[in-house]
């Protein structure tokens, strides 16, 4: 089974997601993931149809008073994974940006992170990166309370 997984990664040019490893650089428009180095990052890769899947963790992160020089929250919206019109989602994103100005909101119109990093499509993936860009936590399904607690501990222990 491992050989099949490796073959699929090679065939589709996917990157294996491994903890404590750096993922390859991604670019969405003029933004690129290298700009996040130097801060702990909570990255949410969200299918708009699954936006509530890890909203409990996201909302909890928003209540924390983390120093924005040490921490950043990034929400990348997988527009290719939804039937909803982009203009509706973009209007909602503009509203969220006003409410949460320290969060970086980005749009992925081609499911780039699914293709390049092998993230789960039609989900609300959560990734936490160290200041050095190493992956510390990854969840591609709904987080339970224990995972939420663990993710917060990881963030706070890496400042």
Q: What average pLDDT does this structure show over 121-126?
A: 95
Tokens 């993922």: give the residue. 23
Determine, yes or no, domain membership for 57: yes
Determine, yes or no, domain membership for 104: yes
- Count of C-beta atoms within a 10 Å radius of residue 75: 21
Q: What percent of the chain has pLDDT over 70?
A: 90
Determine, yes or no, domain membership for 9: no
The pTM for the full model equals: 0.87
Q: What is the DSSP string of 71-117?
A: EEEEEEEEGGG-SS-HHHHHHHHHHHHHH-TTEEEEEESS-HHHHHH
Q: How confident is the model at residue 15 (pLDDT cuts 50, 70, 90)?
A: low
Determine, yes or no, domain membership for 124: yes
pLDDT at 8: 43
Q: What average pLDDT does this structure show over 38-43?
A: 98
Number of domains in the chain: 1
Answer whether 46's CB lies under 8 Å from 124's CB: yes
Q: Which domain holds residue 68?
A: 18-157
pLDDT at 115: 93
Determine, yes or no, domain membership for 8: no
Q: What average pLDDT does this structure show over 108-127?
A: 95
Q: Which two tokens stand for residue 46?
A: 């969200």
The CATH number of the domain where 60 resides is what?
Answer: 3.40.30.10
Determine, yes or no, domain membership for 10: no
Determine, yes or no, domain membership for 1: no
């Amino acid at each position: 089974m491992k050989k099949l997984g490796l073959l699929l990664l090679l065939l589709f040019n996917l990157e294996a997601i491994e903890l404590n490893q750096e993922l390859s650089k991604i670019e969405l428009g003029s933004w690129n993931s290298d700009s996040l180095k130097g801060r702990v990052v909570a990255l949410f890769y969200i299918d708009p149809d699954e936006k509530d899947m890890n909203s409990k963790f996201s909302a909890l992160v928003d209540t924390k008073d983390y120093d924005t020089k040490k921490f950043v929250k990034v929400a990348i919206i997988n527009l290719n994974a939804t039937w909803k019109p982009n203009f509706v989602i973009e209007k909602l994103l503009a509203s969220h940006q006003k409410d949460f100005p320290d969060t970086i909101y980005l749009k992925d119109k081609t499911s780039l992170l699914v293709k390049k990093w092998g993230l789960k499509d039609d989900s609300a993936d959560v990734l936490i990166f160290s200041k050095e860009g190493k992956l510390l936590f990854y969840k591609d399904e709904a987080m339970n309370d224990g995972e939420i607690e663990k993710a917060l501990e990881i963030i706070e222990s890496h400042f």
